[in-house]
């Protein structure tokens, strides 16, 4: 039984198939109107959402299925202390597929290990947001006609922006991609994205603080919000929040066919004046999100009887030897979970938490 926790749970062929199915749904919506008749999607949202939750719900309805769920942790039994694992077991009794958003990194992974139905990660803390990545890939494909040979700029909060991390990971699989990372010093991409995605894959990339200088080189500009909810210190947020504001004057520096994407919500980083510009694609991106989620729901429900791809088959694991130091890891709040690390580098004694993927160095290796 397949789940989608990380964009790498999908092969490149499966990504292509999902994009092709989404394009077919856009062309022939009536052909899909009853594909999920009698099926139920559970949307378990422990963190706020407009687009992801409602696009999942609209997607299931347009496939002829039904939707159950909750939109905040306080209206679920999580508020009474129920674990993610137990929640997943319970929902498996009521629904055919789960879409889960959770503030703790690795929570949807825990759900997938305990559910008897497919689980889709709808965003876990600052970690991953694979269905936003599918949305972004579909939008890039529809705007540019290809997913290769593109210069893609990411601007804003590259440290906490899970959509940025997932999209960079996904783009490492395509040829001819150049990445331009535009952020304040304090919000640069995390080391694991720089090393594991960009450097290991020999991706061409540059880091800059200057949006104006980068703009003329870009085929895609992926703007992001500076996320107030991820800052421990509100004064740091206040100082950084308006670091980049895309205006019509700045758009004049860009290529005539550059596409502007944004996972939304926006706060102040794209002036509403830019919305009229034909290069502004972020509302088309919202609509694409519904179609690619329709394609994904179909794919996962069709593959319900297939085994999950082998995981950690040859990996050396450390089990309950060290604790994850990431305060946003699901293991920081659910103490009964086994602490499991995959050994990634024996020479330098590096291992990686299987839930949140944060790296640690330990003498235990
Ligand atoms: N892009 C996105 O994840 O939006 P929501 O937070 O509204 O779901």
* pLDDT per position as a tens digit, 263-306: 999 999 999 999 999 999 999 999 999 999 999 999 999 988 77
For the stretch 28-79, pLDDT in tens is 999 999 999 999 999 999 999 999 999 999 999 999 999 999 999 999 999 9
pLDDT reading at 364 higher than 90: no
Mean pLDDT, rounded, for 142-170: 94
Length of the chain: 365
Give, as one character, the DSSP assignment of residue 186: G
CATH 3.40.50.720 fits 134-282, yes or no: no
Residue 348 has pLDDT above 70, yes or no: yes
CATH no., domain 317-361: 2.30.30.20
Nearest atom of ligand 1 to the alpha carbon of 48: 6
Residue of the nearest CA to atom 1 in ligand 1?
Answer: 263
Distance CA 79, CA 122 (A): 20
Query: Closest Cα to residue 257, out of 340, 180, 151?
Result: 151
Q: How many CB atoms lie within 10 A of CB 143?
A: 20
Nearest atom of ligand 1 to the alpha carbon of 52: 8
pTM of the model: 0.93
**Mutation probe of ligand 1 site: the residue of 46, 49, 58, 282 with most atoms within 8 A of C-beta:** 49
Distance 52 CA to ligand 1 centre (A): 5
Whether pLDDT at 309 is above 70: no
Q: Does the CA dihedral 227-341-46-305 come out positive or negative?
A: positive
Measuring from each residue's beta carbon to the nearest atom of ligand 1, which residues come in under 6 Å? 49-52, 123, 132, 263-265
pLDDT score recorded for residue 310:
63
Alpha carbon separation from 162 to 7, 74, 121, 313, 320 (Å, rounded): 12, 24, 12, 27, 27
CATH code 3.40.50.1370 region(s) in the chain:
7-130+287-302, 134-282
| Confidence category of residue 190, pLDDT binned at 50, 70, 90 | confident
Q: What is the pLDDT confidence band of residue 227, given thresholds at 50, 70 and 90?
A: confident
Question: Which atom of ligand 1 is found nearest the CA of 123?
Answer: 3
**Which residues participate in catalysis according to the annotation?**
51-52, 80, 101, 129
Q: What is the reported pLDDT for 311?
A: 65
Is residue 191's pLDDT more than 90? Answer: no
**Centre of ligand 1 from the C-alpha of residue 267, in Å:** 13
Cβ–Cβ under 8 Å, residues 56 and 26: no
β-strand 119-124 against 97-102: which pairing, if any? parallel
Query: How far apart are the CA of 319 and the centre of ligand 1, in A?
Result: 34
State the span(s) of the chain assigned CATH 2.30.30.20: 317-361
Binned at pLDDT 50, 70 and 90, residue 196 comes out as: confident
* Residue 223 host element (H or E): strand 220-223
Mean pLDDT along residues 307-320: 78
Q: Whose CA is nearest to atom 5 of ligand 1?
A: 49
At the top level of CATH, the class of 7-130+287-302 is alpha beta
Specify the ligand 1 atom closest to the Cα of 264. 1
């Amino acid at each position: 039984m397949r789940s989608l926790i990380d964009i790498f749970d999908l092969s490149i062929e499966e990504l292509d198939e999902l994009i092709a199915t989404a394009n077919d749904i856009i062309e022939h919506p009536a052909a899909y109107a009853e594909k999920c008749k009698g099926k139920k999607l559970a949307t378990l949202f422990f963190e706020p959402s407009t687009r992801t939750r409602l696009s999942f719900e609209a997607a299931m309805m347009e496939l002829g299925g039904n939707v159950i769920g909750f939109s905040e942790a306080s209206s679920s039994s999580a508020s009474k202390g129920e674990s993610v694992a137990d929640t997943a077991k319970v929902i498996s009794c009521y629904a055919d597929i789960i879409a889960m958003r959770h503030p703790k990194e690795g929570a949807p992974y825990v759900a997938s290990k305990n559910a008897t139905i497919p689980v889709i990660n709808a965003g876990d803390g600052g970690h991953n947001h694979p269905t936003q990545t599918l949305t972004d890939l579909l939008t890039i494909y529809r705007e540019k006609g290809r997913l290769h040979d593109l210069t893609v700029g990411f601007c804003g909060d590259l440290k906490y922006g899970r959509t940025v991390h997932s999209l960079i990971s996904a783009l490492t699989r395509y040829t001819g991609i150049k990445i331009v990372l535009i952020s304040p010093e304090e919000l640069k991409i995390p080391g694991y994205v720089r090393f594991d995605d960009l450097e290991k894959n020999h991706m061409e990339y540059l880091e800059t603080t200057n949006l104006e200088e980068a703009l003329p080189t870009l085929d895609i500009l992926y703007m992001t919000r500076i996320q107030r909810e991820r800052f421990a210190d509100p004064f740091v947020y206040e100082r950084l929040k308006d670091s980049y504001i895309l205006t019509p004057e700045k758009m004049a520096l860009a290529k005539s066919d550059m596409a502007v994407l944004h996972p939304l919500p926006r706060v102040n980083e794209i002036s509403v004046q830019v919305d009229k510009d034909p290069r502004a694609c972020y509302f088309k991106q919202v609509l694409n999100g519904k179609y690619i989620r329709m394609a994904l729901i179909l794919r996962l429900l069709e593959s319900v009887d297939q085994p999950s791809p082998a995981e950690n088959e040859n990996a050396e694991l450390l089990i309950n030897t060290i604790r994850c130091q990431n305060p946003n890891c699901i293991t920081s709040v659910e103490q009964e979970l086994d602490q499991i690390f995959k050994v990634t580098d024996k020479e330098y004694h590096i291992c990686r938490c299987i839930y949140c993927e944060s790296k640690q160095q330990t003498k235990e290796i």
